[in-house]
Amino acid sequence: MMEPIYQYAWLIPVLPLLGAAIIGIGLLLFGDKTYQYRKSISGFLVFLVGATMVLSFALLWSQVQGHAPYTALSEWATAGDFHLKMGYTVDHLTAMMLVVVTTVAFLVMVYTDGYMSHDPGYVRFYSYLSLFSSSMLGLVVSPNMVQIYIFWELVGMCSYLLVGFWYERKAAAAACQKAFVTNRVGDFGMLLGILALYALTQTFEFGEMGDRLQTLVQSGSLSAALASLCAILIFLGPVAKSAQFPLHVWLPDAMEGPTPISALIHAATMVAAGVFLVARIFPVFEGLPVAMNVIAWTGAFTAFLGASIAITQNDIKKGLAYSTMSQLGYMMMALGVGSFGGGLFHLMTHAYFKAMLFLGSGSVIHGMEAVVGHDPVLAQDMRLMGGLRKYMPVTAATFLIGTLAISGIPPFAGFWSKDEILGSAFAVNPALWVIGWLTAGITAFYMFRMYFSTFEGEFRGNDAEIRQQLKNENLQKLGLAFGPGAMNSQELTLEAEHEAEAHDADHGAHSEFPHESPLVMIAPLMVLAVPSVLIGLVGTPFANYFEEFIHPTGEAMPTLAEFDWTEFVLMAGSSVAIAVVGIVLAYLMYIKRKIDPAAIARKIQPLYQLSLNKWYIDEIYHTVFVQGTLRLAKQVLSADIKFVDGIVNLTGLATMVSGEGLKYFETGRAQFYALIIFAAVLGIAITSSVI
Amino acid sequence: MDFANLGAQLNAGTILPEGVVILTLLVILVGDLIVGRTSSRWTPYVAIAGLVGSLTALFYQWDISDPIGFLGGFNSDALSIVFRGIIALSAAVTIPMAIRYIEQSGTSLAEFLVILLTATLGGMFLAGADELVMIFVSLETLSISSYLLTGYMKRDPRSNEAALKYLLIGAASSAIFLYGVSLLYGLSGGETNLNAIASNIVAQGSEPPIGLVIALVFVIAGIAFKIAAVPFHQWTPDVYEGSPTPVVAFLSVGSKAAGFALAIRLLVTAFPLVADEWRFVFTALAVLSMVLGNVVALAQTSMKRMLAYSSIGQAGFVMIGLIVGTDAGYASMVFYMLVYLFMNLGGFTCVILFSLRTGTDQISEYSGLYQKDPLLTLGLSVCLLSLGGIPPLAGFFGKLYLFWAGWQAGAYGLVLVGLVTSVISIYYYIRVVKMMVVKEPQEMSDAVKNYPEVRWTLPGMRPLQVSLVLAVVATSLAGILSNPLFTLANNSVTNTPLLQSSVAMTQDAGAPVQLADAEINQ
């Protein structure tokens, strides 16, 4: 009875692709003329994504009812006994991811209509969004590694397009390149890993790959070290895509893209692709303790790193970006300690509340732009905000829900998933638990710091002094020594330019106080608030439906039956306690002002600087990789000019000269030609007779 | 004895395609005599229809059970069918481009067509000839009609000069060829059938007589003249420059294909004893052709001369397939000839079109053409890039297959020379393309500045346009969708008993052949 929806499941990635293709072609053919039909275009694309969402829900429902996993394959390429199949597969994991991706994508696309309504690139943005949704859904339904890799790259490409959407902004152009290049590093490792595993196991299928690898390792024909190396190579892909240390540097910069992108790609879907992939090929990792440890520790360290940096961020989106990184670290840690269900559960809850937080931040920025103009330096800085709850009550309420969820306060979604992760981490390695636990406290602190400085207190948006200070800081970041006596003419011009820019930007500013966003923007926020509060209840430790559903079929279920109340209360109590400590600290610092954060920062200056400068990782990469590559490139260039070009030019010269010379053998005299023929015959005859 | 019986005994059905061409030729000749000059309105289409009919007849002969006709004089095996097809097709593509050209020069079209069809006929018979007299007669049919075609522009002294030179050099090489053939006749004890010659000479003793080597060299001289291999190429630039351009197009494809067909059949059948020798001679010819053809082409200023040298170089590439003598080698030759047909004829179509509109064929005059005539620029660019072997155009796959076959068979040196010279060739092809697409208006040549308005409605222009578009489409698509051509080329080799036995022999003889047939047949 349910068969038809499975047979037509291929429509899920194809529908948005179709939409993107139609609109993309229209955009190419008619250019700006499409702009006047933008509302119908966006309506059409939203409808397509909505249709895929309905289909996804139907699939999820059918899977929950216990329908067997469904796979449809067709031959794609054959060479000898090498067969490559393409198709789609629908199982529990896929169904869950489909629903998460389509709901978030749908809501973000609705929200975009409000956020981008005045942008000249409205239509282009929608077609990119649609293309991205298609790639992401294609990735989720992929039945083998090759297809996953194809869509993986497509997703990366869409991210590049979307981060660089405002390509005329220098920072955005740089950020999309950084995202792309960083991801290439990881993808290269992943490709190597896929090929190596294929060489070892002769298959691209997930299940078979894992089984055969385990058999090989157990029979001793393959050393566990080599197998782990392959697994870690594959893991490099997720490291880059899910912004894990050391390839996390692109994610904060990617916030240069429009905010709906940050919500869709850099919070809910694409960055979760890495976690999804690890879950997908969990059978490969499962039997390799070294690889599992690498995953767990990478995750744990990333979680801590992200949280520690987020404390000092003043840009609201950057802060959320580091928090995303930190939460992704949690998910990786969960998978690393073998808690398959926990990682995916957190992926799902996080997708909803983080998408909501990002959309909320977008709403805030949208409101702030009314006051300070379209200047990201001012509109996104929390030091200019404050007291926004008065002006944007819906945004503030949903943001608060998100903040509570991410801080792990029961009964919000984040509590249940984080608790499950911390519980399984404790069971495997208490050290991991300590890191996770500490991070939970920091998370609560920085999230409430963000909430308080944005929505509570007095509105500071019209404080000219802070504005000037922010602008100066921004200039300093651009590498200028700024201060009395350090002025030179170049700075003056730069400043003049900047003033001009700011002046332009001020055109966008038209009121003294921010306003609540339109309904089309706050409606998705309200919708997302529902799962952010409730979705955690499907995975409570005493009745874990989620774990039961998501757990790989055919494997023994972990012993859920003996649910231990004391242990739960201990674990949950300690994590709630540290979260409350974080919240109280934030309250004292940013509402009551009992504790002066600046004073603390001065006291632990080195640590403060370390966090503020993101552990100097960007600087280290710049010195080691960027400048190193540049130096190498310069040396190679000089060798190329002197040596290779010399040879090439010499060859070219020799060829030209001989061409010019030989052409005089064409005298045009027939007797000479005949002579050459006879001479040639004679010559050849003699040579062949002699040989 | 009645005709039907005679026909059955001679297996006359094997030359049905040639019969169709002869019939077409007669219809045009007689029709022109009756109707007069107005016949030019329909004769070209009759000629094309006849050639298409001939191609259809060839198609139905593919799986013929008994290919030997005329008591062993003519062999209609798969190889000859493919080559006859190439020759007929090249004539069929040449006709549309000739209509306007001949009209504009004010000479009679019907006579041109008759001579062209005669040349085609000679080439087709040559491709299937299995007997010395038959070979020589069809070779001369082809040659003499080529001389006539070359001198067809009677009022143009350059055309006359070209015809005379071609005749003189052609006569000299024919003489050498005939001498070689007569030696072969003598050595085999009075046999003219190629198979009989080979078996008689083998029967005489194990050591090949010195006369056989001499005969071989003389025969090769005749073949090399036809395919314009260095050092027997010297007529090519002069003749190509002076002759009417459609004739050059036919000579560079149809006539060359006939030459290659002759080379394969004659050398493989009649000279198995001196296989190493003829491979050696052809290696020398191939290397010289590739190097000299491509290098001298760099220095040319006239488009037609450049294409003449380029065709010498291209012939050098094709010879690689002949030299390695494997299944893949022969198949890659056939494949390359098929591809070469479209890209070279397409190139010539563009050259004709340009010279019709501007009256010049100097390379420098092409600069800035893009702004005046994008279609012509596109067509010429595609064809030239394909000749240079730029992916994904057809020429790339043709070269790839040739070089791959050569590499598989261990002819590393040849393939390396081929690779290096094809890089050189890319330079002169791209130079033209670059010149055409320059952006600055001040760099535009005078000819392009005075470029007439593009009008396709003039009489004879429409066929030219059709043939241009056809060639460009074929050149662009034959690369990506090369599988049918590829299969055709492979089948033509595997279905030819003559080549199969020769491949088996080369492998038995321990020649440097490490080709795994399975790999090609996949």
3-state secondary structure A324-387: HHHHHHHHHHHHHCCCHHHHHHHHHHHHHHHHHHHHHHHHHHHHHHHHHCCCHHHHCEHHHCCC
Indicate the pLDDT class of residue B54, thresholds 50, 70 and 90.
Answer: very high
Local structure of A462: helix, strand or coil: coil
Q: Which residue, chain included where needed, has tokens 């902004």? A: A169
Closest CA to B391 of B299, B325, B478, B304: B478
Report, as an integer, the average pLDDT of B274-294.
90
User: How near does any CA of chain A get to the CA of B493, in Å?
Assistant: 22
Q: Which residues of A touch B297 (CB under 8 A)?
A: 659
Measured CA to CA in angstroms, residue A108 lies from A69, A254, A264, A359, B296 at distances of 29, 17, 6, 8, 64
Output b/e per residue, A129-139; b: 16+ Cβ within 10 A: bbbbbbbbbbb
| Most confident stretch, A229-238, A303-312, B334-343, B501-510 | B334-343
CB contact under 8 Å between B225 and A656, yes or no, is: no
In angstroms, rounded to a whole number, what is the distance separating the alpha carbons of residues A25 and A27? 5
Q: Please check whether residue B453 is in contact with residue B401, taking contact to mean a CB–CB distance below 8 angstroms.
A: no
CB contact under 8 Å between A688 and B277, yes or no, is: yes
Q: Higher-confidence residue: B336 or A600? A: B336
Q: Which residues of B touch A662 (CB under 8 A)?
A: 292, 295-296, 299
Alpha-helical runs (H) found in A119-269? 122-141, 145-163, 170-201, 206-219, 224-241, 250-253, 259-263
φ and ψ at residue A552, rounded to 5 degrees: -50, 135
- H and E: helices and strands count for chain B: 24, 2
Report, as an integer, the average pLDDT of A154-174.
86
CB contact under 8 Å between A676 and B234, yes or no, is: yes
Q: Which of A402-416, A449-463, A475-489 has the lowest mean pLDDT?
A: A475-489
Out of A662, A673, A676, name the one closest to residue B292 (CB). A662
Residue in chain A closest to B163 (alpha carbons) equals A670
Local structure of A78: helix, strand or coil: strand
Size of interface A-B (CB pairs under 8 A): 79
| Most confident stretch, A650-664, B66-80, B338-352 | B338-352
Q: Which residues of B touch A656 (CB under 8 A)?
A: 298-299
Report, as an integer, the average pLDDT of B428-453.
84
pLDDT digits (tens, 9 = 90+) for A547-589: 777 765 544 445 444 567 777 788 888 888 888 888 888 888 8
pLDDT digits (tens, 9 = 90+) for A510-532: 677 788 888 888 888 888 888 88
Closest CA to B387 of B259, B496, B294: B294
Indicate the pLDDT class of residue A500, thresholds 50, 70 and 90.
Answer: very low
Q: Please check whether residue B182 is in contact with residue B130, taking contact to mean a CB–CB distance below 8 angstroms.
A: no
User: How near does any CA of chain B get to the CA of A76, in Å?
Assistant: 17
φ and ψ at residue B78, rounded to 5 degrees: -60, -40
pLDDT of residue B343: 92
Written as six digits, the tokens of A80 are: 């000898």
Indicate the residue type of B396.
F
User: How near does any CA of chain B get to the CA of A674, in Å?
Assistant: 6
pLDDT of residue A562: 54
CB contact under 8 Å between A659 and B220, yes or no, is: no
pLDDT of residue A181: 86
Q: Which of A156-160, A295-299, A607-611 has the lowest mean pLDDT?
A: A607-611
Mutate to test the interface with B, among A647, A663, A671, A691 (most CBs of B within 10 A): A663
CB contact under 8 Å between B217 and A684, yes or no, is: yes
Indicate the pLDDT class of residue B89, thresholds 50, 70 and 90.
Answer: very high
In angstroms, rounded to a whole number, what is the distance separating the alpha carbons of residues A686 and B213? 9
Percent of chain A with pLDDT over 70: 91
Indicate the residue type of B20.
V
pLDDT of B118 > 90? The answer is yes
Mean pLDDT of chain B: 88
Indicate the pLDDT class of residue B141, thresholds 50, 70 and 90.
Answer: very high
User: How near does any CA of chain A get to the CA of B325, in Å?
Assistant: 19
In angstroms, rounded to a whole number, what is the distance separating the alpha carbons of residues A426 and A570? 12
DSSP letter at A68? P
Q: Please check whether residue A240 is in contact with residue A182, taking contact to mean a CB–CB distance below 8 angstroms.
A: yes
Mutate to test the interface with A, among B296, B423, B428, B520 (most CBs of A within 10 A): B296
Indicate the residue type of B432.
V
Q: Which residues of B touch A664 (CB under 8 A)?
A: none
CB contact under 8 Å between A659 and B298, yes or no, is: yes
**Which helix (DSSP H) or strand (DSSP E) does residue A323 occupy?**
helix A316-336
In angstroms, rounded to a whole number, what is the distance separating the alpha carbons of residues A310 and A231? 31
In angstroms, rounded to a whole number, what is the distance separating the alpha carbons of residues A543 and A546? 9
Q: How many CB atoms lie within 10 A of CB A45?
A: 25
φ and ψ at residue A492, rounded to 5 degrees: -60, -45
pLDDT of B19 > 90? The answer is yes
pLDDT digits (tens, 9 = 90+) for B450-508: 888 888 888 888 888 888 898 889 888 887 787 888 888 888 888 888 888 777 766 55
pLDDT of residue B28: 93
Mutate to test the interface with B, among A677, A682, A687 (most CBs of B within 10 A): A677
User: How near does any CA of chain B get to the CA of A691, in Å?
Assistant: 8
Q: Which of A70-79, A479-488, B83-92, B236-245 has the lowest mean pLDDT?
A: A479-488
Report yes or no: B178 at the A interface, CB cutoff 8 Å. Answer: no
Residue in chain A closest to B293 (alpha carbons) equals A659
pLDDT of A502 > 80? The answer is no
Task: Name, in order, each residue with C-beta under 8 angstroms of A186's C-beta and a sequence gap of 6 or more.
Answer: A236, A237, A238, A239, A240, A241, A247
In angstroms, rounded to a whole number, what is the distance separating the alpha carbons of residues A73 and A80? 19
Mutate to test the interface with B, among A688, A690, A691 (most CBs of B within 10 A): A688
pLDDT of B520 > 50? The answer is no
Between positions 143 and 172 of B, the ones with CB within 8 A of A are 164-165, 168-169, 172
What's the pTM value of the predicted model, to 2 decimals? Answer: 0.63
In angstroms, rounded to a whole number, what is the distance separating the alpha carbons of residues A464 and B2? 115
Q: Higher-confidence residue: A8 or A32? A: A8
Alpha-helical runs (H) found in A408-544? 413-428, 430-455, 464-477, 489-506, 519-534
Out of B172, B234, B280, name the one closest to residue A666 (CB). B234
Local structure of A544: helix, strand or coil: strand
Q: Which of A172-176, A350-354, A557-561, A603-607 has the lowest mean pLDDT?
A: A557-561
Report yes or no: B348 at the A interface, CB cutoff 8 Å. Answer: no
pLDDT digits (tens, 9 = 90+) for A92-102: 888 888 998 99
For the packed helices B394-408 and B412-436, what is the interaxial angle rounded to 10 degrees? 170
